[in-house]
Amino acid sequence: MNTAINSKKHKDYIIGFGLLILLLGTITVLEQILPRTSMIFTVLKKGAIYALVAVSMNLLNGFTGLFSLGQAGFMLLGAYTYAIFTIPVAARPQVYQYFDGGIIQFTIPVAAALILSGLVAAFFAYLIGLPVLHLKSDYLAIATLGFAEILRAIFQWDKIGVITNGSNLLKKYPVFKSCLFYFAVAIICITLIVLLINSTYGRAFKAIRDDEVAAEAMGINLAKHKQLSFVISSFFAGISGALLAIFQTTIQAKQFTSAMTYEILLIVVIGGIGSITGSCISSFLFIACSEWLLRFLDDAKLNFSSVQIFRPGFRKVVFAIVIMAIVLFYQKGIMGDKEFSFSRFTQSVKKLFPGFKKAKVIKSKSEGAAE
Amino acid sequence: MEFLQTNLPYFLAGISTGGQYALIAIGYTMVYGILRLINFAHGDVFMAAGLIMIYSYTIMPLWISIPFTIILTVLLGFSIERVAYKPLRTAPRMSIMISAIGMSYLLQNFALYITGGLTKFFPSIPWISDSITIFGAVTKRVTVITPFLTIFLVISLVYLIKHTKIGMAMRAVSKDFETSELMGIKVDTVISSTFIIGSFLAAVGSLLFFSNYSGVTPTVGAMPGLKAFVAAVFGGIGSIPGAVIGAFLIGICENIIKGLGWTTFSDAFTFVLLIAVLMFMPTGIFGEKQTDKV
């Protein structure tokens, strides 16, 4: 029995890996044949970035049961660290034009900067975690939200403008045009998170989520594990912030508002709290809907009568109503707390259409590839 | 005297902003006291009141548009509770909070759609928007009215809670939700009336606030909302006088910080205060001892 489950899991991993390769292959082909400006690339890049940050938030909210709303703050740290340490020295006088070129006059390689951006976010998370992690549910949420706002204020402060460029834009740092870069980083990071969740630490996190008192009685050090989860989650949020900086080509502290954290939280909720694959699927869906698929709703040509219902912004209203409906009536989200598994997927398809099995297997394969 | 002259405008502005925060904070503290829910949408109800006033003022005279705004805002608050929170009454606390965040997202996007992303300007209401001079400091009349109006409203509210039947029901529900239900209190009615009172005060606060800071954007409610919540925590969540004192303190400190030239940190200060309160005095000034907070 045990070996049967294992082999099934094994098969799932292999299929998942195959799908991933297929996905990357498709993207490579798409990049060759479609124009660079196509909306699909924006969706793919932003989707990959949000998938990473959503998974990192899920690690905290879904797997450890710590309701934190500080994600935007850690993304800000990551984005700024990446930008500050990679702007070429030659471009610095131009970027830091109000601060005499800034005080940091060296650059580090992109890969090192990415990791450093994660580390800086993790370090701040460690400091912030010391006082706030013993707070419970909504108090923790509001305290982390507060810290994110404080960070945002500090980064716009003129006095440290020689490092952060005050409230001005940071730009001219190295960027990558290809989607593959974003996917590669996101996939590596998400894989690391999955490995962590399946390890002893991950089990301890889940135990804390399910029952703190019982977990403590079983010998789990609550403070240590909460701190660990918080720091690791912030590490990956920092990296996703760096990716966001790369994607946008310019970065400014002003944009990392609490509204951004709310969006990430909604992605996690739609995907299912406690499901990694759910977060990934929903972040692509979320970005695709808000940036691309629902755009037709903004089209004024759709109006029949003199009342201008369809005009810019309408898609956002429809989208928000759909989200509210999910939150109210479909609280489990897309995946609940389960993971996307190919065998379960085929099974549920078979259950839906009990008649013709053979044909469905082939169809479900193509559907699976589409996801 | 010179010191007073230079700082008086900030102090006056502080008292006035504080009064406006107080009116919002009461909505937070009452809802939290009963439902244990941070009503993230409350700041957006405040914003919506501003927009309703702007649009209604363009089509009807002032003396109708003010009551119209207040009634519509109350209806909005009431329906938010019925639509977004009531179905989740038995769900875990986190779900209700997510629902509140979703509601805030919906209201902001709806406001974005209505305004088309442009900053709308609040009409200047005659008499209360007039400039006056106090001890050599020029300010709007609304600055002086706000604290008195706030205190008047708070006293009436405290009277309502202490001496009426519905007030007693509110106190009972906030003490123990289930027992009060067993004692025959209609919990849904009590919760609805809490939201009605909260939205009413937010509408009044919004009229005063936007007479001072006239630009209304879809996200304008978020910051005053969070600050009012901090005020509620500072005063001891669930306590109305506490929330009012906290709000005045935050309003005054914030404006003095602005006066010192640290404008960047005027928002951050509130959160520093929040964290300090949560660290050292989690029950706030007037809060009851509770074990589930920390």
Q: Mutate which of A316, A326, A330 to disrupt the B interface (most B C-beta within 10 Å)? A: A316
pLDDT at residue B4 above 50? yes
CA separation for the pair B150, B23 (Å, rounded): 7
The Cα of A100 is separated from the nearest Cα of chain B by a number of Å equal to 22
- More confident call, A190 vs B7: A190
Are B112 and A313 inside 8 Å of each other by CB?
A: yes
A185 close to A115: Cβ distance less than 8 angstroms:
no
Tokens of A30: 């798409």
- More confident call, A108 vs A308: A108
In this predicted structure, what is the pLDDT of residue A200? 92
Domain parsing of chain A, residue ranges: 46-338
Strand duo A170-171 + B131-134: pairing: unpaired
Q: What residues in B contact A134, CB-CB < 8 Å? A: 294
Are A143 and B264 inside 8 Å of each other by CB?
A: no
A241 close to A152: Cβ distance less than 8 angstroms:
no
Tokens 């006095």 found at: A159
Query: Each residue of A12-23: pLDDT tens digit?
Result: 778 878 888 888
- What is the pLDDT confidence band of residue B95, given thresholds at 50, 70 and 90? confident
Query: Looking at residues B122-132, what average pLDDT do you find?
Result: 79
Strand duo B137-140 + A250-251: pairing: unpaired
B86 close to B201: Cβ distance less than 8 angstroms:
no
- What is the pLDDT confidence band of residue A105, given thresholds at 50, 70 and 90? confident
Within 8 A by CB and 6+ apart from A326, the residues are A269, A270, A333
- What is the pLDDT confidence band of residue B1, given thresholds at 50, 70 and 90? low
Tokens 């549920």 found at: A348
Tokens of B142: 């609304």
Searching chain B, which residue's CA lies closest to the CA of residue A311? B113
Q: What residues in B contact A139, CB-CB < 8 Å? A: 278, 282, 293-294
Searching chain B, which residue's CA lies closest to the CA of residue A143? B275
Q: What residues in B contact A136, CB-CB < 8 Å? A: 292-294
- What is the pLDDT confidence band of residue B292, given thresholds at 50, 70 and 90? very low
In this predicted structure, what is the pLDDT of residue A369? 44
CA separation for the pair B3, A125 (Å, rounded): 42
Closest CA relative to residue A275, chosen from A231, A338, A365 = A338
Searching chain B, which residue's CA lies closest to the CA of residue A269? B98
CA separation for the pair B144, B250 (Å, rounded): 17
Query: Each residue of B144-165: pLDDT tens digit?
Result: 888 899 999 999 999 999 999 9
In sequence order, the β-bridge partners of residue A250 are: A171
B89 close to A253: Cβ distance less than 8 angstroms:
no
Percent of chain B clearing pLDDT 90 (strictly above): 41
Number of residues written out for chain A: 371
A49 close to A243: Cβ distance less than 8 angstroms:
yes
DSSP B294: -
B164 close to B42: Cβ distance less than 8 angstroms:
no
In this predicted structure, what is the pLDDT of residue B293? 40
Whether B274 contacts chain A with CB within 8 A: yes
Instruction: Pick B94's closest partner by Cβ from A67, A149, A150.
Output: A67
Query: Looking at residues A132-139, what average pLDDT do you find?
Result: 81
Instruction: Pick B222's closest partner by Cβ from A147, A158, A258.
Output: A258
Q: What residues in B contact A329, CB-CB < 8 Å? A: 87
In this predicted structure, what is the pLDDT of residue A354? 62
Instruction: Pick A317's closest partner by Cβ from B110, B219, B282.
Output: B110
CB atoms within 10 A of CB B147: 18
Searching chain B, which residue's CA lies closest to the CA of residue A331? B95
Instruction: Report residue A124: phi and psi, to 5°.
Output: -65, -35
Are A328 and B99 inside 8 Å of each other by CB?
A: yes
- What is the pLDDT confidence band of residue A368, given thresholds at 50, 70 and 90? very low
- CB contact residues (below 8 A), chain B span 179-238, against chain A: 219, 222, 226, 229-230, 233
Three state DSSP letters for A125-161: HHHHHHHHCCCCHHHHHHHHHHHHHHHHHHHCCHHHH
Residue pairs between chains A and B whose CB atoms are closer than 8 Å = 131
Q: Mutate which of A138, A262, A282 to disrupt the B interface (most B C-beta within 10 Å)? A: A138
In sequence order, the β-bridge partners of residue B134 are: B137
Q: What residues in A contact B280, CB-CB < 8 Å? A: none
A59 close to A261: Cβ distance less than 8 angstroms:
no
Within 8 A by CB and 6+ apart from B27, the residues are B39, B42, B45, B77, B195, B197, B198, B199, B201, B202, B228
CA separation for the pair A12, A22 (Å, rounded): 15
Closest CA relative to residue B185, chosen from B174, B169, B161, B196 = B169
- What is the pLDDT confidence band of residue B132, given thresholds at 50, 70 and 90? confident
In this predicted structure, what is the pLDDT of residue B285? 79
Q: What residues in A contact B103, CB-CB < 8 Å? A: 324
Look over chain B and give the mean of its residue pLDDT values, rounded to a whole number.
87
Q: Mutate which of A150, A260, A267 to disrupt the B interface (most B C-beta within 10 Å)? A: A150
Strand duo A170-171 + A250-251: pairing: antiparallel
- CB contact residues (below 8 A), chain B span 33-52, against chain A: 36-38
Q: What residues in A contact B267, CB-CB < 8 Å? A: 149, 153
Query: Each residue of B246-270: pLDDT tens digit?
Result: 999 999 998 888 888 787 788 888 8
| CB-side neighbour CA atoms (13 Å) of A193 | 35
- CB contact residues (below 8 A), chain B span 94-113, against chain A: 94-95, 97-99, 101-106, 108-110, 112-113
Are A131 and B267 inside 8 Å of each other by CB?
A: no
In this predicted structure, what is the pLDDT of residue A139? 83
Are A143 and B294 inside 8 Å of each other by CB?
A: no
Q: Output b/e per residue, A253-289; b: 16+ Cβ within 10 A.
A: bebbbbbbbbbbbbbbbbbbbbbbbbbbbbbbbbbbb
CA separation for the pair A236, A289 (Å, rounded): 25
The Cα of B84 is separated from the nearest Cα of chain A by a number of Å equal to 7
Continuous segment of H or E residues that includes residue A47: helix A39-58
Look over chain A and give the mean of its residue pLDDT values, rounded to a whole number.
84
In this predicted structure, what is the pLDDT of residue B3? 67
Residue type, A6: N
- What is the pLDDT confidence band of residue A367, given thresholds at 50, 70 and 90? very low
Q: What residues in A contact B219, CB-CB < 8 Å? A: 257, 259
CA triplet B98, B100, B103: central angle to 5 degrees?
110
Closest CA relative to residue A297, chosen from A309, A310, A281, A278 = A310
Closest CA relative to residue B24, chosen from B149, B250, B201 = B201
DSSP assignment of A267-315: HHHHH-TT-HHHHHHHHHHHHHHHHTGGGGGG-GGG--SSS--SSTTHH
- The pTM score is 0.87
